[in-house]
Amino acid sequence: MRLKTLILGAAASASLGVLALAAPAAAQSLTAITGGRVLTGTSVIENGTVVIQNGRVVSVGSGAAPSGARVIDARGKTVTPGLVAVDAVLAVSEVGSVSGTGDSSNNANSISASFDVSYGLDPWSITLPVARLGGITRAVVTPSHSGGGDGHDHQDDSDFAGVGEGGLQSPGLFAGQAAIIDLGQGGEILVKPRVAMVAPFGEAGAGIAGGARGAEFVQFKETLAEVRLYARNRAAYDRAGLRDLSLSRADLEALIPVAEGRMPLIVTARRAADIRQVLRLAREEGLKIILDGAEEGWLIADEIAAAQVPVLLDVLNNLPSNFEMRAARMQNAAVLNAAGVVIAIKGSDGGGRVREMRYNAGNAVSHGLPYAAAIQAITVNPARIFGMGGQFGELRPGAAADVVVWSGDPLEPLTIAEAVFIDGQEQPMTSRQFLLRDRYARPGTLPPAYNR
Amino acid sequence: MRSFRLTGVSLAALSALTLAACATTGSSSGDGAAAAAPREREAMARGLDYAANPDPYPSTYAALPRENMAIVGATVLTGAGQKIENGVVVVTDGRITAVGGPGTAVPAGHRVVDARGRYVTPGVIDVHSHLGVYPSPGVQGMSDGNEATNPNTAQVWAEHSLWPQDPGFNTARAGGVTTLQILPGSANLFGGRGVTVRNVPSITMQGMKFPGAPYGLKMACGENPSRVYGSRNSSPATGMGNVAGYRAAFIAAREYKAKWDKWRETGEGSPPTRNLQLETLAGVLDGSVLIQNHCYRADEMAVMIDIAKEFGYRITAFHHAIEAYKIAPLLAREGICADMWTGWWGFKMEALDGLEANAAIVDAQPNSCAVIHSDDAQLTQRLNQEAAASIAAGRRIGMNIPEERAIAWITLNPARSLGIADQTGSLETGKRADVVIWSADPFSVYARADQVFIDGALTFDRMNPAYQPVSDFELGQPGFAMPAATVDQGAR
């Protein structure tokens, strides 16, 4: 009874709050979010005003709201760009254990580098509203690969072998191509397909090549040579006038922009020695790489910075979960940032717990990362790393109007996102989880099934 | 929840009495029970009758060197529902001897620890850990958490897999964790006994073992056992196969227990053959072994409750109780703890309906026992944050959740879930002085455990490398002893 009273009272106030914010707002209407602490992604404006219209940010400053604008009072609140998740599997994996919903990895030999995750995107995925409630408005949906996790892939000790990497097995050196999505309700969520190629190195990559790291690097170089040979001799290839190549035509095609240094290659490497090898490989082959993992990166932070290679970090990896991560430390993010490396901070997984990326950024702060750098690592940096700088992930004129109004500091678990705009469109603040919650937290006289 | 601690110790005493009583009747010497060993049982090796040696791997735990102290000036969350500003916590001989406001007397000779501007809570307790049995590094040769060879392995004990050198114990302690229950995995219907440990560095498992803590039996509902054994074309392959397996096991355990009870009563004939599997299950039936039941779905938890009634035992806790919010009144009525995550959901079908407000909704029931647990070497370092996210989810629907109440989700309630609430879990007079001094409000992401005391002994200090233990495994490994950043490091 106590519960019921509490929640009924709450529901009234909560829905009032939502109504106040959520008057039907078309994306094109002029809206001003005023009075909040505005973290633009690169700067802080106290008592700031963010004006949006036609799906774009019009201005960010400290002036008054323009006349005629719908005003959202954000006094006492924090306003940020929508968060940008990297290494996500949102909209390509509905239930982790249900393989039929899993479109983030592929096991066919003939489709590895050419695997294009964007075709599997489901805009109606129940994972999207959950992530959106965590303030995430854009995500880099990234093919999963063996070794992509942190050594703690099992979710409830059900990794009964106790070893291995959650059963993912990529048959080729490449896991496929990532895509950028927005998390806007009800529309086309694909922003840009084929933004990066994924390849595991270290133990995972070695496993694919036969077991040894020395085999993977040789195979990788050989593959690039084939890609270049193919690119120079397409006509000959098409009339079967070229020597046999180990990759399918589709994979060869997909790798041309990688070999030419136009498409970034996301390289999972954890051990400092592996990172160093990968940096050398990139230099020798003219590749544009993004490091993924880099748990031991702090040991050679200056080398990573000198190579101007950005890093996607799981900042909570601080245990020697395997022999690639013996130097794993919570301070990794702080050290890399201090050395000048551009970092992006990941969620706790790519799907259900991607919303924890803001807490992870907070934990990096408590281990030495400057607060401003932590905000950048979940907004501006991921956008820039994937070539979308200025287009989203930042509150600046001309950028997509992805805006989140938070009840407080966005890095705090006690803080919630109160309003989310994507491309200027105010998003419904609900999810399947909230429907379940309300059904059971507010019992009626009939069974819960009648309560919707 | 009542304390239902028929612990290993008290049970042992009980068994010894029974034995002594039999012995007296069978003895003609009249020298008293102690001197009168039962002749008919003299030839029986100690290992053949558990009553002769009910604690064969006894705790050798001893607290680290400690001093009497008073922690003053902090905001104290007692775990028992109080929030005391500018509080005083007095620790004497490893026990809490006083907790109160600024006027609380500090005994002469007690060192005064200045905690102004900081927070003090009981030590964090993680009821679901696989540290030591699935340690780092998680490589072949070290992964000893699941005896996935038979759906019923009630005979195995997690303490026999526990590797005390797991670096995860140190990182958990740096997150304020002072007590953990180490459980076998969930591959089996009956995974085996868990062990409750003090989170102190130790060469041996026995050196960590929580003295007198009751054993827990890990049971698992749902997808894991049926997947593991179904894929081997053996039973259980379904949920109904799971239930048939639990029932068959308790039928056998009832019979086994009756045989021993009868033999102890009459002393006639040959003693029953000791069976380690049935012995653990018989311990469940006599209340000395607590049921720690991995069970996600509400409908499955309800069936498990009925199985317990069918065979006459109690369930102490459901772990990974993803759907606890659907049956919160039932769990409160039955006095069963719900051990939960906040953020984990969707990784399999039985986790599909997980939601962040779970603990908040469960906690709102009168007589509830809401617990936040980890099951994870990383999450265990931040149970305070996992609780904070559930507070936020509850407040979002207007629930009034004071921090002094929610702190119990990671302190007193887990102690209840382990049957050790009379020993630890709150800052109350007479309890073990398991205390954390936090740099800030523990529900803030920026809070770090500055000092961690176990039985009144400083066991971790974020500012002092002399109190930042590293395991043998970590010595000399890449990055060892290199300052990683200009931040007070703590563990890793």
Contact A36, A79 (CB under 8 A): yes
B58 falls within a domain: no
Across A264-268, average pLDDT: 97
Torsion of CA B460, B461, B467, B470, to 10 degrees: 60
CB contact under 8 A, A363 and B482: no
Residues A133, A355: Cα–Cα separation, whole Å: 8
Tokens of B92: 């004497």
Contact B96, B411 (CB under 8 A): no
CB contact under 8 A, A348 and B343: yes
Q: Which residues of A touch B396 (CB under 8 A)?
A: 14, 416
Chain A: give the shortest CA distance to residue B479, in Å. 5
For chains A and B, CB pairs below 8 A equal 232
Q: Which of B364, B378, B477 sits opposite A152 (nearest CB)?
A: B378
Domain limit, last residue, from B370, B398, B425:
B425
Distance, C-alpha A387 to centroid of its chain: 14
Q: Complex ipTM above 0.95?
A: no
For residue A145, the model assigns a pLDDT of 79
Buried b (16+ CB within 10 A) or exposed e, A239-249: eeebeebebbe
User: Three-state SS for B332?
Assistant: helix
Q: What is the pTM of this model?
A: 0.92
- The chain A residue lying nearest B398, using CA atoms, is A10
Both A151 and A45 in one domain: the answer is no
Interface mutation vs chain A, best among B292, B297, B352, B489, most A CBs within 10 Å: B352
Chain A: give the shortest CA distance to residue B221, in Å. 12
Which residues are CB-contacts of A279 (< 8 A; sequence separation ≥ 6)?
A289, A303, A304, A307, A309
Return the CATH number at B200.
3.20.20.140
Both A68 and A91 in one domain: the answer is no
Both A136 and A157 in one domain: the answer is yes
Q: Which residues of B touch A441 (CB under 8 A)?
A: 325, 357, 361, 397
User: What's the start-to-end Cα distance of chain A, in Å?
Assistant: 20
Both A64 and A88 in one domain: the answer is no
Helix or strand run (H / E) with residue A268: strand A265-269
Q: Which of A126, A320, A338 sits opposite B477 (nearest CB)?
A: A320
Both A72 and A160 in one domain: the answer is no
Both A19 and A165 in one domain: the answer is no
Across A22-28, average pLDDT: 52
Domain count, chain A: 2
Both B198 and B296 in one domain: the answer is yes
B87 falls within a domain: no
* Tens-place pLDDT, residues B277-299: 999 999 999 999 999 999 999 99
Both B252 and B360 in one domain: the answer is yes
A406 falls within a domain: no
Both B24 and B136 in one domain: the answer is no
Both B22 and B161 in one domain: the answer is no
Both B134 and B21 in one domain: the answer is no
B1 falls within a domain: no
A399 falls within a domain: no
A306 falls within a domain: yes
Handedness of CA A126, A131, A135, A137 (dihedral sign): negative
Note which residues in 139-178 of chain A have CB less than 8 A from chain B: 150-152, 155-158, 160-163
Q: Which residues of B touch A316 (CB under 8 A)?
A: 378
Q: Is B233 left (phi over 0), alpha (psi -120 to 50) or beta?
A: left
Both A27 and A108 in one domain: the answer is no
Both A17 and A120 in one domain: the answer is no
B152 falls within a domain: yes
Beta partners for B124? Answer: B177
Across A225-249, average pLDDT: 96
Tokens of A134: 């965590």
DSSP B273-314: PP-HHHHHHHHHHTTSEEEEEE---HHHHHHHHHHHHHHT--
pLDDT-based confidence at residue A81 (cuts at 50, 70, 90) = very high
CB contact under 8 A, A298 and B479: yes
Domain count, chain B: 2
Distance, C-alpha A54 to centroid of its chain: 25
The answer to whether A316 contacts chain B (CB < 8 Å) is yes
Query: How many beta carbons lie within 10 A of that of residue B353, not counting itself?
Result: 21
For residue A146, the model assigns a pLDDT of 65
Both A110 and A254 in one domain: the answer is yes
- Beta-sheet pairing, B370-372 with B177-182: unpaired
Note which residues in 336-375 of chain A have CB less than 8 A from chain B: 338, 348, 351-353, 355-356, 359, 362-363, 365-368
Both A112 and A28 in one domain: the answer is no
CB contact under 8 A, A316 and B145: no
Task: Identify the domain containing residue B174 by its residue range.
Answer: 125-425
Both B403 and B256 in one domain: the answer is yes
Residues B464, B450: Cα–Cα separation, whole Å: 10
Tokens of A51: 């004006």
Chain B: give the shortest CA distance to residue A52, in Å. 27
A417 falls within a domain: no
Q: What is the pLDDT along chain B (492 residues), one digit of tens a residue?
A: 333 333 333 333 334 333 333 333 333 333 444 444 444 555 678 888 888 888 999 999 999 999 999 999 999 999 999 999 999 999 999 999 999 999 999 999 999 999 999 999 999 999 999 999 999 999 999 999 999 999 999 999 999 999 999 999 999 999 999 999 999 999 999 999 999 999 999 999 999 999 999 999 999 999 999 999 999 999 999 999 999 999 999 999 999 999 999 999 998 888 999 999 999 999 999 999 999 999 999 999 999 999 999 999 999 999 999 999 999 999 999 999 999 999 999 999 999 999 999 999 999 999 999 999 999 999 999 999 999 999 999 999 999 999 999 999 999 999 999 999 999 999 999 999 999 999 999 999 999 999 999 999 999 999 999 999 999 999 999 999 887 766 666 678
Handedness of CA A170, A171, A173, A175 (dihedral sign): negative
Stronger pLDDT, A92 or B27, i.e. the higher one: A92
Which of A267-276, A356-365, B12-21 is least confident? B12-21
Whether the pLDDT of residue A160 is over 80: the answer is: no
CB contact under 8 A, A6 and B137: no
Chain position carrying tokens 């072998």: A161
A263 falls within a domain: yes
Both A251 and A351 in one domain: the answer is yes
Rg from Cα positions in chain B? 23
CB contact under 8 A, B364 and A152: no
Residues B349, A72: Cα–Cα separation, whole Å: 40
A257 falls within a domain: yes
Across A305-328, average pLDDT: 97
Both A302 and A168 in one domain: the answer is yes
Which of A348-362, A365-379, B50-64, B188-202 is least confident? B50-64
CB contact under 8 A, A155 and B485: no
- The chain A residue lying nearest B400, using CA atoms, is A6
Interface mutation vs chain A, best among B333, B356, B386, most A CBs within 10 Å: B356
Whether the pLDDT of residue A269 is over 50: the answer is: yes
Contact B462, B449 (CB under 8 A): yes
- Angle formed at CA A397 by CA A340 and CA A262, multiple of 5 degrees: 50
The answer to whether A445 contacts chain B (CB < 8 Å) is no
The answer to whether A329 contacts chain B (CB < 8 Å) is yes
Nearest to B278, CA basis, from B250, B304, B258: B250
Burial of A321 (0-12, 13-18, 19+ CB in 10 A): buried
Interface mutation vs chain A, best among B223, B376, B487, B489, most A CBs within 10 Å: B487
Which of A108-112, A247-251, A274-278, B146-150 is least confident? A108-112
A366 falls within a domain: yes
Interface mutation vs chain A, best among B355, B373, B391, most A CBs within 10 Å: B355
DSSP A69-85: -EEEE-TTSEEEEPEEE
Domain limit, last residue, from B425, B457, B475:
B425
Both B27 and B137 in one domain: the answer is no
Q: Which residues of B touch A415 (CB under 8 A)?
A: 392
CB contact under 8 A, A151 and B138: yes
B221 falls within a domain: yes
Contact A338, A377 (CB under 8 A): no
* Tens-place pLDDT, residues A130-152: 999 999 999 999 999 765 444 34
For residue A166, the model assigns a pLDDT of 41
For residue B53, the model assigns a pLDDT of 86
Residues B342, B331: Cα–Cα separation, whole Å: 18
For chain A, give percent helix, strand, coil, nearest 5.
35, 20, 45
Q: Which residues of B touch A359 (CB under 8 A)?
A: 385, 389, 445
Helix or strand run (H / E) with residue B127: strand B124-129
- The chain B residue lying nearest A366, using CA atoms, is B446
Task: Identify the domain containing residue A59 by its residue range.
Answer: 2-79+430-450
